[in-house]
Every structure is written in structure tokens, then in C-alpha cells.
Amino acid sequence: MAPNVTSSPVTELPSENIQGPDSGKVGNQESYKWDLVWRNVILFAYLHAAALFGLYLMCFSASWYTVAWAIFLYKCSALGITAGAHRLWSHKAYKARLPLKIFLAICNTISFQNHVYEWSRDHRVHHKYSETDADPHNATRGFFFSHVGWLLCRKHPLVKEKGKGIDMSDLEKDSVVMFQKKYYLILMPIGCFLMPTLVPMYFWGETFSNAWFVATLFRYTFTLNMTWLVNSAAHMWGDKPYDGTINPAENLAVAIGAAGEGWHNYHHVFPWDYKAAELGNYRTNFTTMFIDAMAKIGLAYDLKTVPKEVVMKRCQRTGDGSHPVWGWGDKD
Ligand code: ST9
Ligand code: ZN
Ligand code: ZN
């Protein structure tokens, strides 16, 4: 058990602005049209073609140092999203001291998934209006839309309308988040593109093309796709032991690729749990291992979790029967 872990009160919805599901209020509309943003279509097409070339260079040309560097950057960017933008800033599932916040903001900037403020606003809307038109990556619109399509077109007006009602005051008071937001257009190109390319060239004489295509574009595209799988695959495929009535599911493959974020049925039911999963299994939850380590050295504290009895009762009341311990329980 990690130090400083506290159980939240015996309720099933967070009491703060973590935004519980509210999807009943926003229906899906048949009339939705794709308003393509061609700049994004072209950039993402280039990115994926370049990443495939990067994969080829990684197998046949790049130095092992460059491959190790790409893996290191993937792990760092993953933490900037999972431990940073997601569990700390979107859900307030734990608290972090300043050095940890700065580290996570740097990692988050390397990941270039928009600044923390924008990422968290979209994510809070996603939880509150899941699988409706107000959900930025509404999975009922299909795999492609929820995976990447939503970044290729204008947002549905309901995303913006409902998003305005999201309380973002906590992040507006967070100087690290606001600093990153203010200087994002300078910091992001340095963190995601310039530094990852220059380090291999300067320190171990890597060629520009190996550094650019492997450490930068392949690593970035791979990290993006691992993240997007949480919105697509983990909203479609897997067991639903905690709530069989919602789409988010428990998906082991996504959990491994996304540093512990594939236990998505649990996460949508109990979004304030710092583990984003019921169990703290480090092999499938790299982020939980990281947060626990940070708690041990005092940089993370007030780790929130959910009492076992609450999880058990919820499984028995709404689960699909797939929970290995509680299953159908005494459900009528
Ligand atoms: C990327 C994000 O990839 C990925 C997020 C994934 C989330 C996953 C979550 C799953 C759980 C966690 C798992 C983590 C796993 C990690 C694993 C790691 C290995 N509320 O956006 P604009 C308003 S990004 C309220 O331009 P358009 C607002 O007024 C990739 N209001 O809308 C805003 O102005 P401002 C790199 C909202 O024109 C205004 O609208 N980034 C909201 O429709 C305009 O906003 C890109 O490629 C809201 N939610 O354009 C950039 N939203 O901001 C892609 C908007 O000033 N994005 N408003 O207040 C874009 O180009 C555009 O956003 C667009 C839509 C074309 C998609
Ligand atoms: Zn989700
Ligand atoms: Zn979440």
C-alpha cells in the first residue's frame, strides 16, 4: 500500500469539480457534420507517414542510444499526460509538491497534446458528457472519430457550450499550469521537436534523419496513438465489471501501452482514484508505480482511492458479472 493514501467518502461521484457523468442531458444528434480542418488533416497525414519511415530507420539504421532515447521520451511524455494532465490536473486524484509539478509540466510539454489547461477542460467535458455530442471524442461516432477524427474537424457546438459550464478555477489558480499555457507556443516546439532531435545529434553523433524521424516523429506519433486508444479501443472493447451500462471498458492491451490508463470502466465509475484502476498492479500501471514512488519521497500526497466495500457494492449493483472476485454477487 502506498503512503498517504486516503479513501474518499462513501459516495460514487466526486464532490469537487471532477465532473461526474451527466450524459442524460445531452442527446446525440443525427445532424452532425464533419467540418474538416485541412491543416490538421495534412499535418497528421505527414506525421503518420514520417512515423512509418521512422519505424523503418529504427529497425535498420538508428543507433541503440537513439532507440533508448526514444523509449525514454515516450515514458516521460506518458507520465506528463497520465500522472500530470490526467490524474493530477484533470481529476485532482492526488496532490503534488512544486518540484513534481514542474517535472510533470516539462514531461507534458514534451508530449504535445495541447497544454494542460486545454487538455483538462476537454477531459472534464468528456467525463461529464461521455458518449454524447458534448463529448469532444464521442465514441458513439465510431472508432476513427474517437481515435483521431475529432482532432481533424471543428468541435461540435455542444462541446463548447457545455464546456463553458466546466469549473476550471482550480487550474486558473495553478501557477505551473498557467505558465505552461502562457508560453506553450515557445515551450512546446522546444520540448517536443527541437530538444529530442538535438540531443542524439550532439551527444552521440546521430544523423539528423535518424534523430528527427525516430526520436522525434516516431516517438511522438506512437505516444499519441497509445493515448488515443484510451478514447477509441477502451471505449469499445473489454469487460465492464463496475458498470455494464456504460461504454468504457477494462482493456489490458491499452493499459500496457498507455501506462496504466486502460482500466477505463473503473476509471469512469471512480474517476478520482489516483490509480485509475481498482488494483495497484505495477506491471500494467506504470503511472501508479511512479505516483507511489513520488509519495514515498514526499513529492506526492493526499492520494485518493475508493474503499473496497464501495467498489464491491457497485460491482454487484451495476457490473456485468465479469469481476473475478465479486462477479454477479447477490444481484437479483
Ligand atoms: C491530442 C489530445 O492528441 C489527445 C487527448 C486524449 C485524451 C485521452 C483521455 C483518456 C484518459 C487519459 C489517458 C491518458 C493516456 C496517456 C498514455 C500515454 C502513452 N470547453 O479547439 P478550438 C471553445 S492533441 C469549453 O480551436 P475548433 C473555446 O472558447 C494533439 N470551450 O475549437 C476555445 O477557445 P480557447 C496535438 C471550448 O475551432 C474555442 O472553442 N494538438 C472547449 O472547433 C476554440 O477552440 C493538435 O493537433 C471545451 N472543451 O477546433 C491540435 N473546446 O481555447 C488539435 C473549445 O481560446 N486541435 N472551446 O478558450 C485543433 O486543431 C482544434 O482544437 C480542432 C477544433 C480543429 C480539433
Ligand atoms: Zn473515457
Ligand atoms: Zn479521466
Cell of 262: 486502460
Q: Does residue 199 belong to any structural domain of this protein?
A: yes
| Ligand 1: centre distance to CA 331 (Å) | 40
Q: Which ligand is nearest to the CA of 14?
A: 3
Q: What is the pLDDT of residue 117?
A: 98
Q: How many of the other CB atoms lie within 10 Å of CB of 331? A: 12
Q: What is the pLDDT of residue 33?
A: 78
Q: Go through the chain and tell me how many residues it has.
A: 332
Q: Does residue 19 belong to any structural domain of this protein?
A: yes
pLDDT > 90 fraction of the chain, expressed in percent and rounded? 86
| Ligand 3: centre distance to CA 199 (Å) | 33
The β-bridge partners of 250 are: 239, 263
Closest to 280 in 3D by CA, of 11, 21, 77, 94: 94
Q: What is the pLDDT of residue 5?
A: 52
Q: Does residue 329 belong to any structural domain of this protein?
A: no
Q: What is the largest CA-CA distance in the chain?
A: 67
Q: What is the pLDDT of residues 92-139, one digit of tens each?
A: 999 999 999 999 999 999 999 999 999 999 999 999 999 999 999 999
Ligand 1 atom closest to Cα of residue 258: 17
Cα gap 184→181, rounded to integer Å = 5
Q: Does residue 84 belong to any structural domain of this protein?
A: yes
Q: Does residue 217 belong to any structural domain of this protein?
A: yes
pTM for the predicted model, two decimal places? 0.93
Asked if this assembly's ipTM is beyond 0.90, the reply is: yes
Considering only CA atoms, which residue is closest to atom 59 of ligand 1?
118
The yes-or-no verdict on residue 16 having pLDDT over 80 is no
| Ligand 2: centre distance to CA 167 (Å) | 19
CA dist 194 → 201, 215, 331 (Å): 11, 11, 56
Q: Does residue 116 belong to any structural domain of this protein?
A: yes
Q: What is the pLDDT of residue 29?
A: 52
Considering only CA atoms, which residue is closest to atom 42 of ligand 1?
160
Q: Is 225 in the pocket of ligand 1 (CB under 6 A)?
A: no
Considering only CA atoms, which residue is closest to atom 23 of ligand 1?
160
Question: What backbone phi and psi angles, to 5 degrees, belong to 103?
Answer: -60, -45
Pocket-testing residue among 125, 220, 227, ligand 1, by greatest number of atoms within 8 A of Cβ: 227
Q: What is the pLDDT of residues 27-72, one digit of tens each?
A: 555 556 789 999 999 999 999 999 999 999 999 999 999 999 999 9
Considering only CA atoms, which residue is closest to atom 28 of ligand 1?
160
Q: What is the pLDDT of residue 27?
A: 55
Number of domains composing the chain: 1
Number of H helices, E strands in the chain: 16, 4
Q: What is the pLDDT of residue 332?
A: 41
Least confident of 23-32, 68-77, 245-254: 23-32
User: For strand 95-96 and strand 300-301, is the pairing parallel, antiparallel, or unpaired?
Assistant: antiparallel
| Ligand 3: centre distance to CA 127 (Å) | 7
Q: What is the pLDDT of residue 34?
A: 85
Ordered DSSP codes for 146-184: HHTGGGSBPPPHHHHHHHTTS--HHHHT-HHHHHHHHTH
Q: Does residue 139 belong to any structural domain of this protein?
A: yes
Cell of 47: 506525421
Considering only CA atoms, which residue is closest to atom 27 of ligand 1?
154
Q: Is 78 in the pocket of ligand 1 (CB under 6 A)?
A: yes
Q: What is the pLDDT of residues 214-231, one digit of tens each?
A: 999 999 999 999 999 999
Cell of 246: 456504460
Q: Does residue 332 belong to any structural domain of this protein?
A: no
Contacts from 113-117 at CB under 8 Å and sequence distance 24+?
Answer: 113/81, 113/85, 113/224, 113/227, 115/177, 115/180, 115/181, 115/184, 115/188, 116/84, 116/85, 116/89, 116/171, 116/177, 116/180, 116/181, 117/168, 117/171, 117/177, 117/178, 117/180, 117/181
| H/E segment holding residue 47 | helix 38-60
Q: Is 223 in the pocket of ligand 1 (CB under 6 A)?
A: yes
Q: Is 70 in the pocket of ligand 1 (CB under 6 A)?
A: no
| Ligand 3: centre distance to CA 195 (Å) | 29
Displacement of CA 213 from its chain's centroid (Å)? 24
DSSP state of 25: G
| Ligand 1: centre distance to CA 33 (Å) | 18
Domain span holding position 255: 5-27+36-318
Q: What is the pLDDT of residues 188-221, one digit of tens each?
A: 999 999 999 999 999 999 999 999 999 999 999 9
**pLDDT bracket for residue 17 (50, 70, 90):** very low
| Ligand 3: centre distance to CA 19 (Å) | 10
Q: Is 163 in the pocket of ligand 1 (CB under 6 A)?
A: yes
